[in-house]
Amino acid sequence: MKQEVDKWRPFGHPDGDIRDLSFLDAHQAVYVQHHEGKEPLEYRFWVTYSLHCFTKDYEHQTNEEKQSLMYHAPKESRPFCQHRYNLARTHLKRTILALPESNVIHAGYGSYAVIEVDLDGGDKAFYFVAFRAFREKKKLRLHVTSAYPISEKQKGKSVKFFTIAYNLLRNKQLPQPSK
């Protein structure tokens, strides 16, 4: 994988507690598309996550605060964000595994995103989960580039996840937003 992290090391928070990040370790996700009267199509994706899913550089933080919260990954370093971490730990993997049932939109720059997540009790929250889908060494890949809360639903052209997966599997061009 292109320098993506397979196993995230825990973060030693300044409060003395260790934040486990193993829930963001690379994993396989299998999606099955059923067609009436046809054999089901199976898509096996290798999924990785960016540190942007649990880090955020806030303007209101002092340099000392930023340094004490700094998480160092192979590509970059950013301050740890407890809020993003909590959201990712609770919702991120479940959101990725539910892509076929989700409302996926074009997010710009060749990326896609899921906007809503189901909360306990049947409520929904706006959680922007951006990802790229691509092939790498003949394998289907999803890389979650960022995940963060948003206050309102974002607009974007809808695209079916299985359309993305099918086109990747068949080496066809990925869906583009209409102009």
Q: How far is CA 57 from the centre of its chain?
A: 18
Return the closest-CA partner of residue 129 out of 171, 91, 178: 91
Please determine, for residue 60, whether its predicted confidence score (pLDDT) is greater than 90. Answer: yes
Q: Which amino acid is at 52?
A: H
Token pair for 61: 């933080």
Mean pLDDT, residues 64-86 taken together: 96
Stretch 105-112: mean pLDDT: 87
> How much is the mean pLDDT over the chain?
92
- Tell me which residue of 99, 93, 115 sits closest to 162, measured CA to CA: 99
- On the question of pLDDT at 41 being above 80, the answer is yes
- Determine the Cα–Cα distance for residues 73 and 66; give it in Å rounded to an integer: 15
Q: What amino acid is encoded at 59 in this protein?
A: E
pLDDT at 177: 75
Residues 120-169 pLDDT 10s: 777 888 899 999 999 998 999 999 999 999 988 888 899 999 999 999 99
Q: How far apart are CA 54 and CA 71, in angstroms?
A: 9
